[in-house]
Amino acid sequence: MVRKDRTFIDAIKNYYQSDIVDEEKHDTEVENMVYIDKLKHLLVMERDSKKFKVYSSKTGRLIQSVPEKNVKGGAIIAADFIELDNTRYVATCQNNRMINFWDSLNYNHRDRLPTADIQLCLKWCGQGVNRLFSGGCDNKIHAYDVLKPTEL
């Protein structure tokens, strides 16, 4: 159903398609994307892929595929950005029951945290909470200390 109020109609009239076009070849369907505002990066996860792609949100160009070399891991499901004091990581969860931590400057692998079950989503809660939360196939929410890294 189309809204008939003037503001909505005017907003549609002012829509212009972006000039940014993804020129990269994807092996499978894009299943998930995470925007990291502090880095101006868009993380793209393809179905059943052991890598994620990092794009510049300003230009739409591929910066790199992560990991560049073989790091033991399963297919990447979700990601989030972690900033705690001087620590800045990108956390990813995989279907091999691991949470991996990547340096946000160069996306080098920094650490890993085994989990009891496959985790399907991640969310960093900073500013006083300073915990990484995940939701898994076990129908539970888990909390982690990212500096140790351990489950709480």
CA distances to 28, 78, 83, 99, 130 from 145, in Å = 33, 18, 12, 12, 7
Q: Is the pLDDT of residue 16 over 80?
A: no
Q: What is the pLDDT of residues 20-30, one digit of tens each?
A: 777 778 888 99
Sheet holding 41-46, edge to edge: 30-36, 41-46, 52-56, 62-66
Q: What is the mean pLDDT of residues 96-116?
A: 93
Q: How many CA atoms lie within 13 A of 9 on its CB side?
A: 5
CA torsion through residues 136, 138, 142, 148, sign: negative
The pTM score is 0.82
Q: Do β-strands 87-94 and 41-46 pair in parallel, antiparallel, or remain unpaired?
A: unpaired
- pLDDT tens digits along 128-142: 888 999 999 999 999
- State the pLDDT at residue 136: 93
Q: Which tops the pLDDT comparison, 24 or 33?
A: 33
pLDDT band at 67 (very low <50, low <70, confident <90, very high): confident
| pLDDT, position 3 | 54
pLDDT at 39 over 90: yes
